[in-house]
Structure 1
Amino acid sequence: MAPPSRIIFSLLTFVTVGMIIGALSQLAFIRKLEDSYDTESMPFRRLRGLESSYIQLPRGLNIWNNDNESKILRLGYIKPEVLSWSPRIILLHNFLSMEECDYLRTTALPRLKNSTVVDKNTGKSIQSDVRTSNGMFLSRKERKYPRVQAIEKRISVYAQIPIENGELIHVLRYQKNQFYKPHFDYFSDIFNLKRGGQRIATMLMYLTDNVEGGETYFPMAGSGDCSCGGKIVQGLSVKPTKGNAVLFWSMGLDGQSDPNSVHGSCEVLSGEKWSATKWMRQALHT
């Protein structure tokens, strides 16, 4: 039998070697993740330490290209930017690809109808002059399409809410002079609360560029002024940029509805604003 000291030494050696291997593996992964941002398939990238300098890279150069899961999650493309902690708002740059934006817009176009709002007394959808856009919901059959499944999974991962807790994707079009006055995404009626609980969070994805006005406006966020449909107002606004997405929470960290999450869509001055919305619930949405 080996002396106890030799056994202890062997165990310590084994643990030390394991820790070294683990550390090297973590460093390699982090390095791979960093490199993916440096080699993303966009026309330009920012040089480290040189905020005003750019170099051009060939399109399609991305080390995640052979990893299907990473393609679905767009690792190396999406850049999160925290806009506000109260209410909680995160801007996700490059959340959708240009092809995904065009796909959602093309799918929705022939099926657009006048947008509605939820009647707080009955829970039913009604037309209202507070919302003047056109929209449609993707069907449950379309939800199973690979392209839609990829978007749904990406939303679930970044929001950290299970896919099955989400409502069907809602595509909207705002034309000139159309808007949606400030409102809450959380429910005030019992009917909708029974079908999956309260809305926790919203992922709002922009599908077009070249829009004047049409900002997403949070009057209770920020501490300064912002632009909203050509007017200067107090609060925080996000300009619609194709491929970007805004993730915000309708519930606070205390689990209660957050009145600071009030938001609206500013009036479109020119062009068309297209967006896709995913509302996420507390429980399985039926």
Structure 2
Amino acid sequence: MDSGALPLRRLSTSPRIYLQEGFASEDEIRHVLARAERDALVAAGLDVTEDATGMACEIPVEGDPVLAALAARIEAILTFACALPGPSFRFRRYARGDAHPPHVDTYTIAGAQLVATALVYLTDAEEGGETYFPHASPEPIALAPRRGQLAIWFNHAPDGRVDRSSEHESKELTAGEKATITYFVYAPLEAAKARLLPDDPEPPQASGVPARTLFCVNDHVPEETTRLLREACEARGVGYVEIDASTFDFIDTEPLPPGAMLFRPAISVAGIRAEQVLWAPGVATFYREPDGILRNIGPTPLIYERAGLPVPRWIWGNTTSRDTLRRYVEWLGGLPIIMKFLGSSRGIGVLRIDTLPGLFSTMDHALSSGYSPLLMSYVPDATHWRVIVVGDRVAGFYRNRTEEDDFRTYASEDPDDYRTPPSPEILATAIRAVEVQEVELGGVDILEHPSGRHYLLEVNFPCYFASARLVGGHDVAGAMIDWLVKKAERLAG
């Protein structure tokens, strides 16, 4: 079936990209295109999605001799097999105007990494639709879709680290149609040492020191957050693997091995659950207790208050009684007061209540909707500090600002807000608050009154730290990786 295939060619060593013309025969292409018709996919009970990246569907290899033959030939070229028990091809059909944004294929399933990607083109696009590698060396590579052509690239370097130069995208299809099938080859990282051609460079010799790898749980995390973590890992020779919580496999994924490092910048429930499944004894995290990752202790003033930390006067909003709410307001020091719904970030769910009618109506709605908000004294004319603690030290800080006509604060783009640290007392409170929260990382929010008194609001874990680096130059991500590496070494003895 593949007698018309031309020899495999290497297009680049950074990333490692290979191309073979005529890999799939006309009979194989016709079979795949017929099976991938929408009606056929739906009749087979397969899920079909459609968005700006085209129509897509996972087609199992099992039970399809043609797909099985294609998979076997791909694995023969790679010299290693896909480790997943039920591999599939991802069929994708692009219409005019469809494209796929830049990304790196870095995922983990059942403890195996997505080491290599194999893409088979089923059509000739008239115009556009190129698979584009902007960071390929010595120059960018653009692969125009050619019917029957196979492109293979490695997502990991031979030493197992994620190869960021493998970032790629599908350019917008401007004329014709583009259809592909992709075989994602999951395997142990050792497979990244494979040499597909005799003149491929020899993989580097192992140093005898086990490589450290950070497993980062992502779920709509800001791009700059993961980029800074990845760059910090690369600067320290640490591997970086991204876990997509939205597609996490809760059946086949095994816990991480001892010595691995795990961090979840995602704040979603899916991210928390994926993190808990990935953790195992010996895995380094930012939780102080060995099993702290299995607990979900949110920030509450009671924790800090019991530890002797300064917090604004507060009380739970647990009633709609007008008389009781009037007493609460008087006890809190009078209007205005702050009403806060826990569980959100970036100021969402924090309300300033200036009138009793506003308080009454908002509490009616909150309690009828199943929420019990926090009521807190309002601290006027205060400076809002964000102090980022890593381990037992301050790794970054900045002064937040307020928008006009808003009491809530935000991180500014003015470097001056990141230069002068808050008082030593505020820094000490921040470090102690993170310790009380039983974590080793936290974005601590503190209000400083003009009188010099300060009040702890909360510890955000995880926390957004990118602006501290991008504007203020505080290398928070570097401090995080350094802390996890040392912790992993301690856990490994």
**C-alpha distance in structure 2 between counterparts of 1:196 and 1:207, whole Å:** 31
The one-letter code of the counterpart of 1:152 is A
CA distance in 2, matches of 1:144, 1:164: 18
The residue that corresponds to 1:86 in the other structure is: 14
Q: Does 1:279 align with 2:184?
A: yes
Describe the shift of the 1:260–1:103 C-alpha distance in structure 2 as closer, same or farther (beyond 3 A): same
How far apart, CA to CA, are the structure 2 residues paired with 1:207 and 1:250?
23
Which runs of 5 or more structure 2 residues have no equivalent in the other structure?
A: 42-46, 189-248, 253-493
Distance 1:196 1:273 in 2: 33
Q: Distance in 2 between matches of 1:78 and 1:145?
A: 25
User: Which AA in structure 1 matches 2:57?
Assistant: M
Alignment partner for residue 220 of structure 1, among 125, 135, 146? 135
Q: Distance in 2 between matches of 1:85 and 1:268?
A: 27
Give runs of aligned pairs for residues 95-114 of structure 1, distance below 5 A. 95-110=23-38, 111=41, 113-114=48-49
Alpha-carbon distance in 2 for matches of 1:79, 1:282:
25
- Quote the Cα distance in structure 2 between the aligned partners of 1:113 and 1:211: 25
RMSD: 2.3
2:204 matches 1:269: no
* Aligned equivalent of 1:256: 161
5 Å matches for 1:112-151? Answer: 113-115=48-50, 131-139=52-60, 142-151=61-70
The residue that corresponds to 1:211 in the other structure is 126
In structure 2, C-alpha distance between the alignment counterparts of 1:168 and 1:237, rounded to whole Å: 26
User: Once the 2 structures are TM-superposed, how far is the Cα of residue 160 of structure 1 from its aligned partner?
Assistant: 1.5
- How many residues in Structure 1 have an aligned counterpart in Structure 2? 183
Q: CA deviation at 1:87?
A: 0.2
The Cα offsets for residues 82-101 of structure 1, whole Å up to 9 and x where unpaired, read as 11001000011111011211
Does the CA contact (< 8 Å) of 1:196 and 1:281 recur in 2? no
Identity of aligned residues (%): 30
1:14-163 matched pairs, under 5 angstroms: 71=1, 74-75=2-3, 77-110=5-38, 111=41, 113-115=48-50, 131-139=52-60, 142-163=61-82
The one-letter code matched in structure 2 to 1:254 is D
Gap change, CA 1:280 and 1:106, over 3 Å in 2: same
The yes-or-no answer on 1:173 pairing with 2:90 is no
Corresponding residue number in structure 1 for 2:104? 184
Say if 1:202 and 1:247, in contact at 8 Å, map to a contact too: yes
After TM superposition, the score normalised by the length of structure 1 is 0.59
Q: Which has the higher contact order (CA 8 A, sep 6+)?
A: 1
Deviation, 1:109, is 1.6
Distance 1:109 1:84, change over 3 A: same
Query: Which residue identity is paired with 1:105?
Result: L
SS at match of 2:76: helix
Q: Secondary structure at the match of 2:56?
A: strand
Q: After TM superposition, give the deviation of residue 223 of structure 1 in Å.
A: 3.3
Partner of 1:42: none
Retained in 1: the 8 A contact 2:109–2:186?
Answer: no
Q: 1:156 to 1:194 in 2, by over 3 A?
A: closer
Letter in 2 for 1:114: T
Quote the Cα distance in structure 1 between the aligned partners of 2:153 and 2:64: 26
**Equivalent pair of 1:82/1:91 in contact (CA under 8 Å):** yes
CA–CA separation in structure 2 for the residues paired with 1:252 and 1:242 = 29
Equivalent residue letter for 2:177:
E
1:4-40 residue CA offsets vs partner (Å, 9 max, x unmatched): xxxxxxxxxxxxxxxxxxxxxxxxxxxxxxxxxxxxx
Contact 1:204 1:276 in 2 (8 A): yes
Whether 1:241 and 2:151 are equivalent positions in the alignment is no
CA distance in 2, matches of 1:263, 1:90: 14
CA distance 1:135–1:251, shift in 2 (3 Å): same
Q: CA deviation at 1:195?
A: 2.1
Distance in 2 between the 1:194 and 1:91 partners? 26
C-alpha separation in 1, matches of 2:4 and 2:121: 19
- 1:114/1:132 contact within 8 Å kept: no
Note closer, same or farther for the CA distance 1:242–1:103 as it changes in structure 2 (3 Å cut). Answer: same
Larger radius of gyration: 2
TM (normalized to structure 2)?
0.35
Summarize the Cα distance change of 1:196–1:97 in structure 2 as closer, same or farther, 3 Å threshold: farther
